[in-house]
Amino acid sequence: MQTSARDRGLAVLGSVVRPVVYIGLSLPAILIVLASFTAGDNLRFPPEGFSLRWYSAAIASEPFMSALWTSTKLACIATACSLAIGLAAATAMDRYTFLGREAFRTLTLSPLIVPMVVLGLGLLQFFAWSGLNQTFYGLLIGHVLITLPYVVRTLTAGFILFDKTLEQAAMNLRAHPVTVLRRVTLPLLAPALISAAVFAFVTSFGNITLSVFLGFSGETTLPVQIFTYVEHNYDPILAAVSTLVILVTLIIIAILERLIGMEKLA
């Protein structure tokens, strides 16, 4: 009897913790979206009335809109670079054995292990020495670095599931190597490539911890702009801008969910 009480306790605890976790994880985002439609002048919850005035304020705000553009541009270019470099790295590790392959694997994943604040200072100082300081390229290089581990990891997993006999079959049928790549290899790798690209994009688009060190005068990314704004102000325009960030992220994730399903991400 004692044991069954222990079991019941465990079950009850689990059924309490789980809903709290699912709600708690989404709560901040949901509140932002709700608060952004306020008609009042103050950021409060529950919001006062309903209006879109803070959205028109956000869209009229030059700093926020140019930051949104910078973030989008940066995330697109960083994703493309990271995908190309990550594909090269993953292919090399999958198709060849070479001296130091495991060391190379560790190296490609290591931007994840280094604390972002440390990487931020390291790059900031290095860019200051090499003249890349406060340029778009500095920011881009930083974002390629931090998205690369996700890309390499996802593509490596994709290669493991990859059936190489299909490539060999195509080559036996005298397909040109370029044709094999275009008609066999890339389509088979497509799910891994898409999830790698999505992960790289959202990582770059939302990044604050590195961008805040490399952000440059004149052009900043949207998360950095939100951060500097929230340090001194606290008004509903932030909720409207943050809702735009949530929207972009949701759209990207929804595309992924549609194309290959969420299971692939985990």
Partner 1 sequence: MLDSLAPRRSWRDRAPLLILLAPPLMLLIIFLILPMLGLVRSSFSEGTGPSSFGWTLGQYSKFLTDTYYLAVLAETIGFGLIVAVACLLIGFPVGYSLARLPPHKRRWRLIAVILPLTLSLVVVVFGWLVVLGRTGLLNSILIGLGVVDTPQRLLFNRTAVLVVLAQQFLPFMILSVMSVVSQVDPVLEQAASNLRADRFTTFRRVILPLSMPGILSGMTLVFILTVSAFITPRLIGGARIQMVGSLIFEQVLTVLNWPFAAAMSFILLTITLLVTGLANTALAVKMTSGGRHAN
> What residues from 35 to 64 belong to the interface with partner 1 (CB under 8 A)?
35, 42-46
Give the interface size with partner 1 as a residue count (CB under 8 A): 96
Nearer to partner 1, 89 or 196 (CB): 89
Question: What is the Cα–Cα distance from 193 to 199, expressed in whole angstroms?
Answer: 10
The residues, any chain, with a CB within 8 Å of residue 232's CB and separated by 6 or more, are: none
CB of 180 to partner 1, least distance (A): 14
Nearer to partner 1, 56 or 106 (CB): 106
Nearer to partner 1, 56 or 233 (CB): 233
Stretch in the footprint of partner 1 (CB under 8 A) among 55-63, 86-94, 179-187, 188-196:
86-94
- Does 214 participate in binding partner 1 (rule CB under 8 A)? no
CA distances from 34 to 45, 176, 234, 240, 253 (A): 9, 56, 16, 10, 21
DSSP assignment of 194-213: HHHHHHHHHHHHH--TTHHH
- Does 158 participate in binding partner 1 (rule CB under 8 A)? no
Question: What is the Cα–Cα distance from 14 to 33, expressed in whole angstroms?
Answer: 29
Q: Under DSSP, is residue 64 helix (H, G, I), strand (E, B) or coil?
A: helix
* Surface-to-core class of residue 194, CB atoms within 10 Å of its CB (0-12 exposed, 13-18 middle, 19+ buried): middle
Stretch in the footprint of partner 1 (CB under 8 A) among 57-65, 72-80, 124-132, 186-194:
124-132
Identified binder of partner 1 from the candidate list 170, 200, 226, 240, rule CB under 8 A: 226
- Does 72 participate in binding partner 1 (rule CB under 8 A)? no
Torsions phi, psi for 46 (to 5 deg): -65, 150
Question: How many Cα atoms occupy the beta-carbon half-sphere of 62 within 13 Å?
Answer: 2
Question: What is the Cα–Cα distance from 141 to 85, expressed in whole angstroms?
Answer: 12
Nearer to partner 1, 61 or 209 (CB): 209
For residue 168, the tally of other CB atoms under 10 A from its CB is 12
Torsions phi, psi for 250 (to 5 deg): -60, -45
The DSSP symbol for 185 reads I
Question: What is the Cα–Cα distance from 206 to 221, expressed in whole angstroms?
Answer: 9
- Does 260 participate in binding partner 1 (rule CB under 8 A)? no
- Does 14 participate in binding partner 1 (rule CB under 8 A)? yes
- Does 102 participate in binding partner 1 (rule CB under 8 A)? no
- Does 70 participate in binding partner 1 (rule CB under 8 A)? no
Stretch in the footprint of partner 1 (CB under 8 A) among 72-80, 112-120, 180-188, 189-197:
112-120
Stretch in the footprint of partner 1 (CB under 8 A) among 50-58, 61-69, 114-122, 181-189:
114-122
Nearer to partner 1, 154 or 207 (CB): 207
- Does 172 participate in binding partner 1 (rule CB under 8 A)? no
Nearer to partner 1, 206 or 219 (CB): 206
